[in-house]
Amino acid sequence: MIHFVGAGSGAPDLITLRGARLLSEADVVVYAGSLVNPALLDQCRADCEIYDSASMTLEQVLAVMDRAESEGKTTVRLHTGDPSIYGAIREQMDALEARGYAYDVTPGVSSFCGAAAALRAEYTLPNVSQTVIITRAEGRTPVPEREKLQALAAHHSTMVLFLSSSLLEQAQADLLAGGYEPDTPAAIVYKATWPDERIFRCTVSTLAQTARENHITKTALITVGGFLGNQYDRSLLYDPGFSHGCREASR
């Protein structure tokens, strides 16, 4: 059996209870060493075989799983944040399907949630944005034409850019060309929920400069939008004049 587990965004106590249990029971662990906090591996059994996938190919990861399966062992594939976001798990799951292995997925706290917590922010403020666009700037991995940053920027929604902190000159130009005002608030969150977390608040027009001045080139999220400002409406859900399934309006 193979368990894909979300490790959470950094702090080792942000893994789920289920993920921690699976990790503590595993015979074999393959973890994404570039971003998973190694402190999580303290939960593994002393005799657990541990592999860092940072230097491995998909084929090498699968070879580890093949051997574990042939020996009747339980494997945890530990991915950073939540495995469904830029986790490259589909290609692994398809390979496991083809081999007839049993597997399941345990979610994790994605770094975009860790970043919101670090910022003490709400992405979906009433009358500001009710939409969060999770995307990336185009680097070596192509982005479909219809999802180019400039096109997405036209929505003026909350936007979170993964994998983009080394591509900010172009990303900033695309966000501005797409229609965000230059003074739209933005924030770079480096290593959200890690002990060395850092937050840099800026605007869309100073994103690249801010990253450059602070030497941020990886392990950061770029967040953009009015949700980082101070104008918003209060929610209807908790408005005394608003009735819903669980509460009658009191005025």
Residues forming beta bridges with residue 50, ordered by sequence position: 29
The DSSP H or E segment spanning 190 is strand 185-190
Angle between helices 90-99 and 58-70 (to 10 degrees): 40
Q: Does 8 interact with ligand SAH (rule: CB under 6 A)? A: no
Q: And the tokens for 120? A: 């003490």
Q: Does 163 interact with ligand SAH (rule: CB under 6 A)? A: yes
How many secondary structure helices (H) and strands (E) does the chain include? 7, 10
The amino acid at 59 = E
List 18, 33, 66, 86, residue binding ligand SAH (CB under 6 A): 86
49's CB contacts (< 8 A; 6+ apart) are 27, 28, 29, 68
List 3, 4, 5, 10, residue binding ligand SAH (CB under 6 A): 10
Q: Does 5 interact with ligand SAH (rule: CB under 6 A)? A: no
Q: Please identify, using beta-carbon distances, which residue of 87 and 226 lies nearer to ligand SAH.
A: 87
Residues forming beta bridges with residue 3, ordered by sequence position: 76, 104
Q: DSSP labels for 120-131?
A: T--SS-TTT-S-
Q: Does 210 interact with ligand SAH (rule: CB under 6 A)? A: no
List 80, 158, 184, 210, residue binding ligand SAH (CB under 6 A): 80
Q: And the tokens for 109? A: 């706290």
Measured from the CB of residue 102, what is the shortest distance to ligand SAH in angstroms? 23
Measured from the CB of residue 191, what is the shortest distance to ligand SAH in angstroms? 5
DSSP-derived letter for residue 211 is H
Mark the segment that binds ligand SAH (CB under 6 A) among 108-116, 120-128, 146-154, 177-185: 108-116
Q: Please identify, using beta-carbon distances, which residue of 8 and 69 lies nearer to ligand SAH.
A: 8
Q: Does 35 interact with ligand SAH (rule: CB under 6 A)? A: yes
Q: Does 191 interact with ligand SAH (rule: CB under 6 A)? A: yes
Q: Does 121 interact with ligand SAH (rule: CB under 6 A)? A: no
List 4, 51, 180, 194, residue binding ligand SAH (CB under 6 A): 194
Q: Does 159 interact with ligand SAH (rule: CB under 6 A)? A: no
Residue 36 contacts residue 109 (beta carbons within 8 Å):
no
Q: Please identify, using beta-carbon distances, which residue of 194 and 200 lies nearer to ligand SAH.
A: 194
200's CB contacts (< 8 A; 6+ apart) are 187, 188, 189, 190, 210, 211, 214, 216
Site for ligand SAH in 37-76 (CB under 6 A): none
Q: Please identify, using beta-carbon distances, which residue of 34 and 209 lies nearer to ligand SAH.
A: 34
Token pair 């075989």 is at which residue? 49
Measured from the CB of residue 244, what is the shortest distance to ligand SAH in angstroms? 32
Q: Does 111 interact with ligand SAH (rule: CB under 6 A)? A: yes
Neighbour count for residue 56 (Cβ, 10 Å): 16
